[in-house]
Amino acid sequence: MTTLESEVDLFAPENVADPFAVLDRLRELGPAVHLAQHDFWLLTRYDDVRRAAADWKTFSSAQGVALTPQFNEQLAGSVLATDPPEHDQLRAVLSEKLAPRGLAAIRAQVREYATRLVDELVARGHFDGVTDLAAVYPVNVVADLVGLPQEGRELLHPGADASFAAFGPWGPYVQQHLQILQSYHGWMAAMADRSRLAPGSWGEVVMAAVDDGQLTERAAHSTLGAYMTAGMDTTVNAIGALLQLFAEQPVVWETLKTDPALAGPAFEEILRLESPVQGFWRLTTADTEIDGIRVPAGSRVMLHWAAANRDPRHYPEPGTFDIRRNPLDHLSFGHGVHGCAGQALARLEAKTLIETLLARVERFELSGEVLRRGNPIVRGLQSLPLTAHR
């Protein structure tokens, strides 16, 4: 058996700005490539990434799903960083609210909030698709559900963004955002004081589970953290990418205008194409083989959702946005026991927003320069100046 090695730095700024060319090359190099920079194995092909995600016994999350030991220590004991059976108990507390049957209760609330926000922005005409819409809407939806006070919410999106960056190498992006990371953690710790959480909120339910002995105090904090971090930056970036698409490819918006039922498929396709979470890591618990390549026990392995989502073995013409593709099997939400617990909420938020915009906007136009953020783990925009024509 062979070993494949590459010197490419996947997290160098130019590769973060445009990851897809380098990922295409690494995907063709072989099924599992050891990256000398940062010392980990990379899986890029759809079938391999999916199989590894489903095989939690060999590809364990229990030693953390970040690259570095420093950050994995912080994740320890959270839903992301445990294996069954411990994982399942934490997940059950979340899915009680986040699974489709729990979401029925909040549909009207999400629609009402989307309507209020969109009415205001459309009346203005010019706005920033990221800072005025994408970074506001999911943050407030989740913050309202968790029952967080208004004060301090402005920390949530930058804080979640910095947290995700810390899943990757301890590089310049993380270092520039350390201060934000600290204030965010400070604020989250303060929120666990339940007198600050709104009565009847999800946050209060989580803290009540501590009183019932269902959760430890630590598990409750990490559950609240899971809502806040996992539920925000990801959705913010997905919605930002969607708005960019509407402005840059007017034909997509026209198609949706004539057939609003394509709102769901449009969201799935942008998730496949952009993969807001580019990938997370696992640790192998045994020697294993990826399509003929041996990966030893104790290896850090990155499951690269973004690379898998553009594998031409699985999706023909993978770089093209095709509104009719409806790729429900994409890996942007991961797969298997850790498959995103919030995916039904993310879909509900996106679909509601698209429908709200469809009823009010004739077409979108870019009205300034599109700026991308340099976050190595979550792919998204910093600024998207838009004009919405009525």
Partner 1 sequence: MVIEVDRDRCEGFGFCEQAAPSVFELDENGELHVLVSEVPSADEPAATTAIHLCPVAALHSN
Q: Which residues contact ligand HEM (rule: CB under 6 A)?
A: 61, 65, 79-80, 91, 94, 98, 142, 226-227, 230-231, 234-235, 238, 276-277, 280, 305, 332-334, 338, 340-342, 345-346
Among 248, 241, 250, 235, residue whose Cα is nearest residue 269: 241
Sole binder of partner 1 in the list 6, 95, 183, 367 (CB under 8 A): 95
172: Cα within 13 Å, side-chain hemisphere: 6
For residues 325 and 38, the answer to whether their CB atoms sit within 8 Å is no
**158 to each of 85, 155, 234, 384, how far by Cα in Å?**
33, 6, 12, 17
Sole binder of partner 1 in the list 5, 28, 329, 362 (CB under 8 A): 329
* Interface with partner 1, residue 11, by CB under 8 A: no
Minimum CB distance to ligand HEM, residue 310 (Å): 15
The residue among 8 and 99 lying less far from partner 1, judged by its C-beta, is 99
Sole binder of partner 1 in the list 8, 29, 192, 337 (CB under 8 A): 337
Which residue intervals of 76-136 are DSSP H helices? 86-98, 100-103, 107-124
Task: Report the length, in residues, of the chain.
Answer: 390
Minimum CB distance to ligand HEM, residue 179 (Å): 25
Within 10 Å of residue 76's Cβ, how many Cβ atoms? Answer: 13
Strands (E), 91-213: 126-128
Minimum CB distance to partner 1, residue 324 (Å): 16
Strands (E), 139-185: none
Binding partner of 344, given ligand HEM, partner 1, none, CB within 5-8 angstroms per partner class: partner 1
Minimum CB distance to partner 1, residue 97 (Å): 11
Binding partner of 238, given ligand HEM, partner 1, none, CB within 5-8 angstroms per partner class: ligand HEM
Binding partner of 328, given partner 1, ligand HEM, none, CB within 5-8 angstroms per partner class: partner 1
Among 133, 329, 325, 148, residue whose Cα is nearest residue 238: 133
Sole binder of partner 1 in the list 122, 340, 366, 370 (CB under 8 A): 340
- Token pair of 183, please? 């204030």
Minimum CB distance to partner 1, residue 328 (Å): 5
Q: Which residues is 6 bridged to in the sheet? A: 35
The residue among 229 and 288 lying less far from ligand HEM, judged by its C-beta, is 229
Binding partner of 250, given partner 1, ligand HEM, none, CB within 5-8 angstroms per partner class: none
The interface mask with partner 1, positions 200-239, x = CB under 8 A, is: ----------------------------------------
* Interface with partner 1, residue 89, by CB under 8 A: no
Q: What is the dihedral of CA 77, 80, 85, 89, to 10 degrees?
A: 80
Binding partner of 290, given partner 1, ligand HEM, none, CB within 5-8 angstroms per partner class: none
How many degrees, rounded to 5, is the angle at CA 192 between CA 67 and CA 212?
105
Among 106, 137, 139, residue whose Cα is nearest residue 121: 137
Residues 229 and 212: their CA atoms lie apart, in Å, by: 25
Residues 334 and 305: their CA atoms lie apart, in Å, by: 7
The residue among 118 and 206 lying less far from ligand HEM, judged by its C-beta, is 206
Binding residues (CB under 8 A) for partner 1: these are: 54, 88, 95, 99-101, 328-329, 333, 335-337, 339-341, 343-344
